[in-house]
Amino acid sequence: MIIYHAMYKSLDKGVHAEVLDFPGVVSVGTDIDDARRSLAAALVDMAETNLLASEPLPQRDASVMDDEADLIEPIHLVLAAGHRVATTVEESLT
């Protein structure tokens, strides 16, 4: 499990959400709970994309902040091998 930093900003028509120390993980929601769910899904999607491209996951960085955020809180990334993992069997050449 990696714990990143999620930030939320209230907008006129919803909530902007972003993982501060995982570039590209951005989402919106109608309210804070919707924004949290949407951001969690975006974080998993981006992490899986990085891993499938053989790119490392960003390390958490406590120094990354947003002074304009209404709320900053931890967001947990938990990845497990599952149904998306494919295996192949190669036939023996002998």
pLDDT band at 94 (very low <50, low <70, confident <90, very high): very low
- Map out the domains of the chain with their CATH numbers: 2-77 (3.30.160.250)
Per residue in 31-90, pLDDT (tens digit) is 999 999 999 999 999 999 999 899 999 999 989 999 999 999 999 998 876 555 554 555
Any bridge partners for residue 6, and if so which?
A: 19, 73
For residue 86, give both structure tokens. Answer: 């494919």
pLDDT band at 11 (very low <50, low <70, confident <90, very high): very high
Contact present, 15 and 8 (Cβ < 8 Å): yes
Given this model, what pLDDT does residue 62 score? 86
Q: For residue 18, which of 37, 5, 2 has the smallest C-alpha distance?
A: 5
**Total-model pTM:** 0.82
Given this model, what pLDDT does residue 31 score? 97
